[in-house]
Amino acid sequence: MTALPEHLPLVDAHCHLDENDLLLEILKNQQIPSIINCQTVDEYRKNRQKTKYLPFLHLSAGIHPWDAAVVSWEEMLPILAEAMIIGEIGMDSLWTDVALPIQEDVFRKQLDYASHAQKPVILHTKNQEQHIAEIIRDYPNRYLVHWYSADDFLTEFIDLDCYFTIGPSLHTDSAVRQVAETVPVNRLLMESDGLSAISWATGQQKTVTPQQYLSLQTDNLVKLSRLRQMEPLLLAEHMRSNLNHFISANHDKDAAD
């Protein structure tokens, strides 16, 4: 490979600000096209105000499966109407004890809304990969599978033409590496999931600094490019195009302002 450019253009196709403006400042200063997740009405309102004049930052909103028993459909519906992207939504039988029937009911309501509104969806699939692949067949749409890290059922999502984000555990998780090696390049994206997620994935005890964020995300991009036998800059450009295509059918960012 040729020498790396001084700054590779990054994307962060799924992240959480976690009530902390540090990541927002990084994304803003580096002009990194990103999708920022919002799980409550209050979080969406705050993040919308913070990103209002930053057209490369997009908001997603939805009832997370962990919140399926506490965030009501009625209170979230006006936010779903405003948001460009629905998510992250899905089902999880590993990291939450919320009953699966409750999760599925909320999940299906949001899928139905998103399909009719023609808004793309970000999926959370932990330990429910096969079931979710079956469910989303009933709701034609554009789907982004966030940080897929299961050993099985990847083909089902690829066959459904889903997009995939590679999470910050690429260096340590063989399942994530399998996704990185297998997903079509025109459906490939990267995410941080937020600074706390990077800390968790890399075993760091302290909050990731801006320089560490940029370094770790760049390292993941370079590793990903080697796995795909592509120049890093070319892959980075592909991912910026992929992100645009994922959100392309939506109204302009300012349409709801």
- Tens of pLDDT along the chain (257 residues) come to 444 455 799 999 999 998 889 999 999 999 999 999 999 999 999 999 999 999 999 999 999 999 999 999 999 999 999 999 999 999 999 999 999 999 999 999 999 999 999 999 999 999 999 999 999 999 999 999 999 999 999 999 999 999 999 999 999 999 999 999 999 999 999 999 999 999 999 888 788 888 899 999 999 999 999 999 999 999 999 999 999 999 985 444 433 44
What does the pLDDT read at residue 180?
Answer: 97
Question: Domains along the chain?
Answer: 20-247 (3.20.20.140)
What does the pLDDT read at residue 6?
Answer: 58
Give 206-212's long-range contacts (Cβ < 8 A, gap of 24+): 207/20, 207/22, 210/22, 210/25, 210/26, 210/29
What does the pLDDT read at residue 211?
Answer: 86
- In angstroms, the Cα distances linking 44 to 17, 49, 136, 142, 202 are 11, 9, 25, 22, 28
What does the pLDDT read at residue 205?
Answer: 77
